[in-house]
Structure 1
Amino acid sequence: MVSDFFTRGWARFGPDPQVRLWADVALRVGRAALRDPAFSHWHVCGGTWFVGLDALPNDAEGRVAGSGPLTGPAVDFIKDHLGGLPPLHRGQLSTVFPGYPRPREGEGEGAFRYRLRSDAAHLDGLKAAGPDRRRRIDEPHAFILGLPLSEAAPNAAPLVVWEGSHEILRAALSEALAPHDPADWPKVDVTEAYQAARKHIFETCPRVLLPARPGEAVLVHRLLLHGVAPWSEEGASAPDEGRMIAYFRPLMPGGLAEWLHAR
C-alpha cells in the first residue's frame, strides 16, 4: 500500500465500520447544508454542483454533530506515512447532481469546454488570478482526503486522477522555482510550467476514475492532478442529496518547501 500510494499518487481504503458511522452523521449535516441560505452561493454550474467549501462544521479532529473523531485506515496511513494528521479545517461538502457539468457563472466557452472534456483537471493550491489567470502557489496542502457520504452509482461524476502525475508536476514546479529565493516562491508565476506539465500528463498518464462508497476513503497525493468526471447519461443514479463527498485538505505544516520536496 505504501509503495503503491507514492508511485500512483492515490489509495482507496475500506470499507470501515467506524468511517461509515462518521459518514452517516456527516451526511445528515450535509443535507442541511444544501438547504442553508448561508451556503446558497455554493450552488453553481446551473445547480449541478454544490461546491460546499467550509460547509461541514467539524472540529480539528473531525468531530461533527456529536460524532467521534475522524478515524480509520486512511487516517492511520496519514499518521504513519505522511507526517501525521494536522488539525483539520472545516470540511468541504462537494456535491454533484445529474446534468453536471453545466457552465459555471462567469465561465467562458474555453473554460467550460475544459471542464467538460478534461474533467476540470487541476492541482490544488495553485490559484489563478487577474485577467490573464496567472497561477501562483497559494495553498500548500498536505494531502487530499475524500470521504464519500452518499450512495451513488460509480458513473455519477466520480473523482478522476491522473496516475503518477504528481512526480511530473513536482519536477516541473521545482524547475520553475529553482532560480528564485524560497521566500519568494509564493510570488513566482508558474503558469507556463504548470500548463506544459499538464499537457504532458494528459498525453502520458493513465486517467483513473475513483468512485467510492460511504465507509470508504480516498487519499490523494497533494501534487496529483485530479478533477471530476461528467455525470454519465447512462443510468447514473444518486439520492436526492446527489453524490456528496467530504474533503479535507489541511495545510502542510512545513510550508511550501516541504510541499514541493517531501515524498
Structure 2
Amino acid sequence: MDRGWARIDPDPAIHAWAKAAHAAALDVLATSPDPWRCGGTWFVGVDALPNAPDGSLNGTAFPWQAVPLPQQSLHKAQLSVIRPGYPQPSTEESSAAFAFRRDHDAAHLDGLLPIGPEKVRMVKEPHAWILGLPLNDTEAAPLTVWEGSHTIFRTALTEALAPHPPQTWGDIDITSAYQTARRQIFATCRRLTLPARPGEATLLHRLTLHGVAPWQDSDIAPPEGRMIAYLRPLLPDVETWLTAP
C-alpha cells in the first residue's frame, strides 16, 4: 500500500458479514453497560462484537476471499458507533484534547498507548493491519487518513528506537518522536475522508495516521448512528511492526 490505505470494492461476502455484524451490533448497543464517550456521541466498543477467531459471526463466514489479507486468528472486532453532534466536550478529556479531536480528527497511530502518570507513548499493541467494515449505509463522520504518513512514521520511529535493543522497543518512550512526526504529517500529507458503505471495506497500513471526521450538520445516518467494525490482529513484536512491509 504505497498510499498507506486501500479501498476494497463491494463484494457479496463482505456485505453478508456486514449484515450479520449489524444485527449483532444492535444487540450490543441494547445491552452493553459501557458508557458512551465524547458527550454521549461515541461508543468505543473495543472487543464488542461476538465474532469467532476465524472471523465468522453468528454462522456467517468472514470474507477472507474478498480481502487482500492472509487468513489468521482474529480478536473480537471493535464496534465504533458515532452519533449526531460528534464530538462533544466531556469530563474524560481535557479542553486541549477535545480541541484536537474536533480540529484534527483525534488523529492517531493505533497501538501507541499512554503509559504511567505522564501518559508517555509506547508501542504496546503492534498491529499487523487495520480493516474497517461499515455496517450501515451512511457517509456521516467518515474515517480520515493522511496519505503517505506511514513512511514518515516508519522513518521517525526507527530513528527513535534504533539506539535500543529491539526486544525493549515496546518499553521505550517515543512520545517526542511521535508528536514531531505527526506535526510533519499534518504539514506535508494530504488529508482524505474515506466514507464507505456495507459490502465495501477500508484497509489501512498499521503505521498510517488516521482519525474520525466531526459529524456535519448535513450528515444523515440511520437511528443507531454511523457503525463501523474494526479488526486489528497483533504481530509478535514491535520490531516486526516497524520493519515489515
Q: TM-score, normalised by structure 2?
A: 0.97
The one-letter code of the counterpart of 1:236 is D
Matching of residue 87 in structure 1 with residue 73 in structure 2: yes
| 8 A contact 2:13–2:66 mirrored in 1 | no
Q: Which aligned segments of 4 or more residues in structure 1 are displaced greater than 6 angstroms?
A: none
Q: CA deviation at 1:72?
A: 4.1
Matching of residue 21 in structure 1 with residue 16 in structure 2: yes
Give the match for residue 220 of structure 1. Answer: 204
| 8 A contact 1:61–1:70 mirrored in 2 | no
More helix by share: 1
Provide the C-alpha distance between the structure 1 equivalents of 2:223 and 2:45, rounded to a whole number of angstroms. Answer: 16
Q: Percent sequence identity over matched residues?
A: 53
| 8 A contact 2:13–2:62 mirrored in 1 | no
| 8 A contact 2:20–2:60 mirrored in 1 | yes
Provide the C-alpha distance between the structure 2 equivalents of 1:42 and 1:57, rounded to a whole number of angstroms. Answer: 19
Provide the C-alpha distance between the structure 2 equivalents of 1:228 and 1:131, rounded to a whole number of angstroms. Answer: 27
Deviations, residues 169-217 of structure 1 (Å, cap 9, x unaligned): 0111000000001111111100000000000000000001000000001
Matching of residue 96 in structure 1 with residue 82 in structure 2: yes
Unaligned runs of 5+ in 2: none
Say which of 223, 245, 256 aligns to 2:228.
Answer: 245
Provide the C-alpha distance between the structure 1 equivalents of 2:128 and 2:220, rounded to a whole number of angstroms. Answer: 32
The one-letter code of the counterpart of 1:51 is V
Give the CA RMSD over aligned residues.
1.1
Q: TM-score, normalised by structure 1?
A: 0.90
Matching of residue 150 in structure 1 with residue 136 in structure 2: yes
Match of 2:64, SS state, is: coil
Match of 1:78, SS state, is: coil
The one-letter code of the counterpart of 1:20 is H
Q: CA deviation at 1:244?
A: 0.3
Provide the C-alpha distance between the structure 2 equivalents of 1:158 and 1:213, rounded to a whole number of angstroms. Answer: 10
Deviations, residues 11-47 of structure 1 (Å, cap 9, x unaligned): 01121111101111110000111111xx332411121
Say which of 162, 172, 190 aligns to 1:206.
Answer: 190
Give the match for residue 109 of structure 2. Answer: 123
Unaligned runs of 5+ in 1: 80-84
